[in-house]
Amino acid sequence: MRLGYQDRWLQRVVIELNLAAMARLPSLRILEKMAAFAVAFSATAFGHAAEPSQSESLSWNSAWAKFRPLEYVLTGVAGVASVSAYFYLKPPEHPHWTGGILFDDNARDALRVRSPNGLARIRSLSDLTALTAVVLVVGVDSLIVPLARAKSDVALQLVLMDAEAYAFSTLLTTTTFNIAGRARPSYDDCQRDPSFDKLCNSGSTASFPSGHANASATAAGLSCAHHTHLSLYGNPWADAIACGTTVALALSTATFRVMGDRHYVSDVVVGDAIGFGIGYTVPTLLHYMSGSKSAATVTLTPLGGFSVYGLSASGVF
């Protein structure tokens, strides 16, 4: 991919900022370089997507179903339910489940950052990678790129599909960690020494599954679904790399959450599975495959009660 003057300038600025940050904590050099590269690539890819002379056509396939009235209702209901679950379904005061399973404890011992400054930095980095993935997919790929290419109809459909996927993935993840009540990896250490971690009393029973992992993986699933079926960046290689970039951001986020001692490996694996599964499957089955004779027919129905929220999926595959 050939870079223009603005592309090189942006990358130089990002690298300089990255070097300044690395000087403060050498142990995180590689991780910060990965995050900076993802941001630099996304800006470069967007610049090339906006060049009409180099872009393949971008259009909504007439055979694909557009957002249906029922989806507006279900997305709205799921969105309200997820917000309600976040604010009103609080994690239990005492954990229902403590300790790791399978290789959780070994992975924690191997990956956990020990120093307070290191923990703060790696947790901030997990916030950055998760937020970057969401902004890239929802803000750049689904909104800015189609609008820059004068495809407002495509932008509308992408944003609606993003909202739908996030409404359901957030609902499922939020209700699960409230109901599961799994203790954070540092819980036992914090019980012995309240000063073990400055976040000892912050969401101490909301470990499973990882919300950060879910958010970034939902973005990755949406990105791969959109870039597989639409020529958003006008080049097959650029679209493939965009999908790979968001997957890398999601995996990085999951790794950082384990290194930051906020989650076990099993927490982030389940969070990634929920996020990517919903992010990729929902738009693919309900929209991108709707023009195929062998397409799956799926109906999503939110479930609600006094203490349990969920999502029911039924259909023909």
Average pLDDT over residues 80-109: 90
Least reliable range by pLDDT among 50-54, 68-72, 161-165, 191-195: 50-54
Going by C-alpha positions, the residue among 277, 282, 290 that lies closest to residue 250 is 277
Residue 309 binned pLDDT confidence (cut-offs 50, 70, 90) = very low
Model confidence at 7: pLDDT above 50:
no
Q: Is 60 helix (H, G, I), strand (E, B) or coil?
A: coil
CA geometry: angle 51, 136, 50, nearest 5 deg: 5
The residue that leads in pLDDT, 305 or 289, is 289
Least reliable range by pLDDT among 41-55, 115-129, 152-166, 274-288: 41-55
The first and second tokens of residue 128, run together, are 């950055």
Supply the pLDDT for residue 21: 39
Model confidence at 186: pLDDT above 80:
yes
Supply the pLDDT for residue 9: 37
Average pLDDT over residues 163-189: 93
Average pLDDT over residues 29-34: 54
Contact 42, 133 (CB under 8 A): no
The residue that leads in pLDDT, 5 or 168, is 168
What domains appear along the chain, each with residue ranges and CATH number?
A: 57-316 (1.20.144)
For 276, phi then psi, to 5°, come to: -65, -40
Average pLDDT over residues 147-166: 96
Model confidence at 283: pLDDT above 60:
yes
Supply the pLDDT for residue 259: 96
Residue 42 binned pLDDT confidence (cut-offs 50, 70, 90) = low
User: Is the peptide bond between 116 and the residue preceding it cis, with omega within 30 degrees of 0?
Assistant: no
Q: Which residues contact 202 (CB under 8 A, 6 or more apart)?
A: none
The first and second tokens of residue 136, run together, are 């890239």
Model confidence at 308: pLDDT above 90:
no
CA dist., res. 251 & res. 291, Å (int): 32
44-70 pLDDT, tens digit each:
555 554 454 445 788 999 999 999 999
Model confidence at 127: pLDDT above 50:
yes
Average pLDDT, the chain: 82
CA dist., res. 216 & res. 272, Å (int): 8
Supply the pLDDT for residue 226: 97
Residue 41 binned pLDDT confidence (cut-offs 50, 70, 90) = low
Average pLDDT over residues 112-132: 95
Least reliable range by pLDDT among 91-105, 181-195, 266-280, 299-313: 299-313
The residue that leads in pLDDT, 169 or 33, is 169
What does pTM read for this prediction? 0.79
What percent of the chain has a predicted confidence (pLDDT) above 90? 65
Average pLDDT over residues 271-299: 80
Supply the pLDDT for residue 90: 80
Supply the pLDDT for residue 14: 38
Contact 278, 255 (CB under 8 A): no
Contact 183, 98 (CB under 8 A): yes
Model confidence at 26: pLDDT above 50:
no
Supply the pLDDT for residue 85: 87
